[in-house]
Structure formats: C-alpha cells, structure tokens
Amino acid sequence: MELVFDRLSKQFGPRIAVDRVSAKLTPGVTGLLGANGAGKTTLMRMVCDVLRPTGGQILLDGHDAATMGDEYRALLGYLPQDFGYYPDFSALEFMRYMATLKGFSNRDGRTRSMQLLEEVGLADDAKRKVKTFSGGMKQRLGIAQAMINDPAILVLDEPTAGLDPKERVRFRNLIAGFAQDKIVILSTHIVSDVEFIASRIMVMNRGSFVLDGTPEQVVSQATGKVWECHVDAHQAEVMSANLSVANVRYASDGHAVVRVVADTPPTPDAHPVDPTLEDLYLLIFRDSATR
C-alpha cells in the first residue's frame, strides 16, 4: 500500500496553509512534527477528505482519492484535534454507534467495540456516560473510535492531548502494534509522541516539509548546534531569556548546567553534546513564525 501526496496545496484566501508538499507514505508510523499553525491539521483534513485541496492530489496505490469517494473513506480512521462525542451515550453505546456507521452488524459491532475499549483501558467504564469522563478518558475513547473499522490508513491529530504519562505509554504501544501493516500518520507538536514509535519523521513548518527521514537522520541535522554550559544562576536566567535553552539543571551550590541550541558556542567554555529530537525542534522553530 502506498499513499502519495503530489504537490498538495491548500489556500485560505491569501494565506497558504499547505504549500505544494510531496511525499510517499508506506506502512508504519510516520510522525508529522511541527509547531501549532505549521499546517499539520490542514494536511490531515485533506488526507481524510474533510477538506479538498486547492492544488495537487492524494493518490492511494495510484488512484486519485478524490474520485474514489466512499471506497477511500472506508479505509480511513481519523481522530481530529476536536473530537466530537455524544455526552449522554455510554462509551459502549458510542462505540456501537460508530461501528454501525462503519457497516458492522449489531453483534460484530458490540464485539469490536468491547475489544477496543479493552485495548485503550476503558472496559471497566464501558457503561459510564461519556460526559462523566476525564479529558484523558475521552481522548482514549477517540483513539478507539478511530480504529473501529481496522483502517488501512489511521490519521491521528494530536492524539495524546490530555493523556497522563502512563496513558501515553499505553497509546504508543497500541499504535506501534497496530501500524505493522498499516499507514499511521501521527501529527503532533509533542516530541516524545513520535520519538519512540515513528520510523519516519516529517517536520513541517510554514506549510512545507523542511525535514524528512528516519529519527536518526532528522536528529543529525542538529549535530554541532547543541551545547552545555556551566554558569552561575544569574547567567542561567539571562541565557534562558535570550537564547534557545532546552534545559536548565540547578545545583545546590547555586550554579547551573544550561543546555542551549545555537549555531555557535554561547559561552567560551561551552562544550558540544549529542542532540535529541527536542533539540532539533527548538533549532527549527526558535525564530520562525508558523502559520
């Protein structure tokens, strides 16, 4: 299976949200990383046929998705940023409703719904009304409904918003197993969401892909631009206010170790350190205004 973006664009009046992006996606997890406003959500909505492109096209195995209609949409699972739900439905009722919309029989829909509620840790809450759920529980329900039809293409837009650390680990393990023979596009501005499960990372800024490769290839772009400095507490505060500081560790003696993303050493005694994906993110978005 192959999903191709061919010079895909979307314009809202004078503003270009997605600017002639091209890529070829195959099964596995592709992390779409970028700051808020970089164009990620607009791209995801075009992939899910919620928005029509201004230019270019999306191809699935060589076929134009725009002309495939229901055949294409039947292959999709989608969790948007603003996940809608029926507050007076129980979790199980909501899942069975979504299963019916996807063409499941009553019996198969119940079986599939309970299976997914178990996988996202909501089986014990299946009969609770959704309006009583915490934000993290609602997000887990959103992930479950996106997977109801065992989609060939799963699109997740900021899927871990509201999840606690334990829930995030559960989510990553679930998606990693699911993506072995499917295309998963995980759009986020949270670095750790893609750092552990994505086999490919596409970094988006100002509507375009600015980096595309394996996590190792992408992170290598920050080599030689990440530094650690040993300074006093006052200097650490000054550096935090004026530089792209990734981290500050204060010691009991009042000194600090400051991790800085910069093209040149920020202090005479600064020494280079191995970059991380978070460092790369700071490097790309430290000066730019995203859209």
Domain limits, the chain: 3-214, 224-273
Fold for 3-214, please state it: Rossmann fold (3.40.50)
3-state secondary structure of 129: strand
3-state secondary structure of 69: coil
Mean pLDDT by 10 residues, the chain (291 residues): 96 95 96 90 94 96 94 93 87 96 93 94 95 90 93 91 83 85 88 86 94 94 95 93 93 90 94 94 71 36
3-state secondary structure of 258: strand
**What token pair was written down for 87?**
């507050």
**What token pair was written down for 181?**
């023979």
Q: pTM to 2 decimals?
A: 0.86
**What token pair was written down for 280?**
């790369």
Residue ranges in the chain assigned as alpha helix (H):
40-47, 65-68, 70-73, 91-101, 106-119, 135-146, 165-178, 191-195, 215-219, 233-242, 277-285
